Amino acid sequence: MKTRKAKKNLKKTEILGLEFKKIEKARKLSDGITANVQKYINLHTTTTIERATLRLLGADGADKNGVPVPNIIVDKMKDKISEGVSKYYLNALVKSGKTPGELNNEIANGLDISKMELGDESKIKSKAKEMVEALDKRLSENVKFRNQKIKEYSSNEKKPWIYVIVATGNIYEDVKQAQAAAMEGADIIAVIRTTAQSLLDYVPYGATTEGFGGTYATQENFRIMRKALDEVGDKLKRYIRLVNYCSGLCMPEIAAMGAMERLDMMLNDSMYGILFRDINMYRTFTDQFFSRMINASVEIIINTGEDNYLTTSDAVEKAHTVLTSQFINESFAKRAGMKEDLIGLGHAFEMNPDIKNGFLLEFSQALMAREIFPLHPLKYMPPTKFMTGDIFKGYAMNTMFNFVTKATNQTIQLLGMLTEAIHTPYLQDRFLAIENAKYVHNNIADFLGEVSFKKDGIIVKRAKQVLDESVKMLEEVNKIGLFDAIEKGMFADVKRPKDGGKGFEGVFEKSEDYFNPIEDYLKNKLKIR
């Protein structure tokens, strides 16, 4: 398909004939919506942004009770958060002459750096410059290594990328399953987080072997899985991408750990935590901006969560809410310095299979997303809401999903697996899902170039209808503001109060002398004004 740049002189999209004027209007409305939220974001910080900043400057480890060092520091500085906590950590490094590792040990053993009088400001800033330069070197080497491997193995890479999950609760068992999945043909491994980790306001420390419904996201677990995927990738001559969940109350910290340990993708949505985890909207919007700057700086692809809307809303009646959210997520991501090829917008094959011509409607939705967002690595989710215990019908649904995925040139495909909603998928279930997808992908490789669609047919008319409804919704959201729109339940049929939800107490207005060398570094690197 032609890129947006090549289409500038055209009035309509290549296949569906969607009007570019309407698409650009939707983007303009979205930018107006996010601009108002960005005003709030720019004036605030959060406890987890401060902890992420500390992590990137070298704060690590935990005390004997498992409380992470970044939490220990921030918890003792509630009255200083508005001015930026990192200056106190840097001050302690300067005054003590210790390495970050040595200082971290002392903090874990009871040292309270908040009580240390601030020294010479120029020395603190000089130390910040030194630490930021070291960080930049580490992150730049990660990006360079990833890009070299992708280039080296480019002849073996095919799209859509096949994405499968591991979720045993034990990182060492996850490694075995992840390597097996890669050998079967998976391109992306996502380590599902343990149930409700998104609601923990701290990041556990070290390797973990116990989890429910998933495995804890920790920096050590990231390192272990990254090493394992590099090993199997070198054997297969393919770069295997690693995914985790940059969401919840520790969103920026997960981004920081992923950047340092060379993750490749992060589930990172602007509204998911608000709608589906009841995390305060002010906290979420502020955290997502900082986390996305981190992701953008190391070329981590984000995956947004619009597919979840269709688990609480009807996929036919509320399809336009998915497109509306995609436009808003795109705008937020661009404000954080993300390029289009890093913005993996989400959607799903979630219509009731009993609907007449439901397949045509699903095809229309997927092709519409591809034509409106031609440069984005779209993430496409399999049927879950209407998945059945009838294994034959289940395989038929997943096969139709595989067909739409390849035929409409989606980028990231999460495979449908019959037992995934019941327990960690059996290796055989994963194998069969991958085989199904590979079979369909190969047999319809050039399908879209061989067909055309009736201008007044079901597929074309449906796409135009959804775009029109999305523009109308964006006009309403732009008029009342995103905070009020969420409060009214305009997204996913879920209502959340502006001052309610988890984590609101962790939001702070920045003082006039707020200091955050990591924020400055990220904004300079990404050219954010």
Least confident of 192-201, 217-226, 382-391, 448-457: 382-391
Q: What is the rounded CA–CA span in Å between residue 265 and residue 253? A: 15
What's the pTM?
0.95
Q: Residue 3 pLDDT > 50, yes or no?
A: no
Q: Give the residue carrying structure tokens 């709030």.
A: 40
Q: Is 396 left (phi over 0), alpha (psi -120 to 50) or beta?
A: alpha
| DSSP assignment letter at 18 | -
Residue 88 pLDDT exceeds 80: yes
For 77, 83, 223, 286, the CA distances from 190, given in Å and listed in that order, are 35, 37, 14, 25
Mean pLDDT of the chain: 95
Residue-wise pLDDT tens digits, 490-528: 999 999 999 999 999 999 999 999 999 999 999 999 999
pLDDT of residue 6: 43
Q: Are 342 and 382 in contact (CB under 8 A)?
A: no
Q: Pick the closest to residue 468 from 21, 10, 32, 78 (CA basis).
A: 21
pLDDT of residue 421: 54
Interval 399-433: pLDDT, tens:
999 999 999 999 999 998 876 655 556 778 888 99
| 383-390 long-range Cβ contacts below 8 angstroms, 24+ apart | 383/348, 383/349, 383/350, 383/353, 383/416, 384/311, 384/348, 384/350, 384/416, 384/420, 384/421, 385/310, 385/311, 385/315, 385/350, 386/350, 386/351, 386/352, 386/353, 387/416, 387/418, 387/421
Let me know: does 204 contact 179? Beta carbons within 8 Å: no
Q: Report how far residue 89's alpha carbon sits from residue 92's, in angstroms, rounded to the nearest whole number.
A: 5
Tell me: domain 253-462, CATH 3.20.20.440, correct? yes
**Catalytic residue numbers?**
272, 307, 379
Question: Which pLDDT tens digit goes with each residue over 152-185?
Answer: 999 999 999 999 999 899 999 999 999 999 999 9
Query: How far is it, in rounded angstroms, from Cα 47 to Cα 307?
Result: 29
**CATH 3.20.20.440 domain range(s) in the chain:** 253-462
Question: Is residue 82 packed enough to be buried (19+ CB in 10 Å), middle (13-18) or exposed (0-12)?
Answer: middle
Mean pLDDT over 65-79 rounds to 96
Report the pLDDT averaged over residues 79-85: 96
Give me the pLDDT at residue 97, please: 96
Do 400 and 440 form a contact (C-beta atoms < 8 A)?
A: no
Residues 317, 330: Cα–Cα separation, whole Å: 23
pLDDT on residue 345: 97
Percentage of the residues of the chain whose pLDDT score is greater than 70: 97
| pLDDT of res. 1 | 35
Instruction: State the Cα–Cα distance between residues 125 and 127, nearest whole angstrom.
Output: 5
Helix (H) or strand (E) holding 369: helix 358-372
**At 390, is the pLDDT very low, low, confident or very high (cuts 50, 70, 90)?**
confident
Q: Does residue 220 surpass a pLDDT of 90? A: yes
Q: Residues 84-105: what's their mean pLDDT?
A: 97
